[in-house]
Amino acid sequence: MELRHLRYFCAVAERKGFSHAARHLYVSQSAISEQIGDLESEIGVTLLDRSQRQVRLTRHGEIFLAEARRILASADRAVEMAQRSMRDEVGRLAIGFFAWGTGAFFPQIIREFRRRYPGVQLSLHEMHAAEQSEALVERKIDIGFTRPLEPPFDLTLRSEPLYRDPIVAALPREHPLVPGPIPLDSLAGEDFVLCNRETSPTLFDTIISICRRAGFSPRIAHTASRWSAVLTLVEAGEGVGLVPAGLWSLMSSQVVSCRIRPNTAHLGVVMAWSPENETGMQRAFLRLVREMKPTIKQLLRQRHTLYCDEDAIG
């Protein structure tokens, strides 16, 4: 049985005759009659009552017609989906992100992608940077908004810089050094609250390094696994923090972010993907983000004055 058998049968049933069906399908009447005869012989069931001037469905033919219509509709749908997939209009895409580092622009990218590609099923996964690299390799996500790739992932994955997140001081509002800018060595006598190294190894190592360049080793009073906890401890007066400027959205009114001098410390934010797993949908998303880079820079400047330095934006 082939799809043309079903199309011929449906045309005859719906137009109640071979001649009308032949004109509709641009096929000879004898060809349609022969094909439907072959169909009835193959399935062993009489589908059409030809005893009257007007062709009618048998009881078995009525049941077969309903199923044939479903099959043809499914086939047409399959063709449509394949063609839309070729045009990058359908598919599935899994995106990894860390909210506090992408909150200024990520929602706008997702909204615009959904507007352009309503047939694509997006799944969004909040993950730490280290988790995203592994998820990309394991094909759990297709694209990650993450920190610059570190060995060994930098050898197997590709990435593209979006911007650089300045490192700033997070201080209780009543701290005497507010509002800054703050010479980094002026914090030498302070207790520090840091995000632990297991959660953010790159940032932890960067903070230790810039403090040493400023002539001191930070006195770490507390570490926490989440940035919200770091900021809570700063607000409680348990110490000062050195944090990415992107955390401004998590800060309460009692915590102030201040520039530090020298202002040489940044953490990059990149868009990463696996070249081995590229798909049309993935390429469409990458194109959109590249197109929106000027918008990303503008949003960062609008949301936080700490991004006003041109060298902080990649």
Secondary structure (DSSP) of 159-214 = EEEEEEEEEEEEEETT-TTTT--EEGGGGTTSEEEEE-TTT-HHHHHHHHHHHHHT
**What is the per-residue pLDDT across 72-110, written as a single tens digit (0 to 9) for each?**
888 887 887 676 666 655 578 999 998 766 666 888 899
CATH 3.40.190.10 assigned to 165-266: yes
Q: What is the CATH number of domain 3-86?
A: 1.10.10.10
Q: What is the CATH number of domain 91-162+268-312?
A: 3.40.190.10
CATH 3.40.190.10 in the chain: give the residue spans: 91-162+268-312, 165-266
What's the rounded mean pLDDT across residues 212-232? 91
The predicted model scores a pTM of 0.64
**What is the per-residue pLDDT across 223-233, written as a single tens digit (0 to 9) for each?**
998 888 999 99
Write down the number of H helices and E strands in the chain.
12, 13
Give pLDDT, residue 303.
Answer: 60
Measure the CA–CA gap between 254 and 234, rounded to whole angstroms. 9
Give pLDDT, residue 84.
Answer: 66
CATH 1.10.10.10 in the chain: give the residue spans: 3-86
pLDDT beyond 60 at 314: no
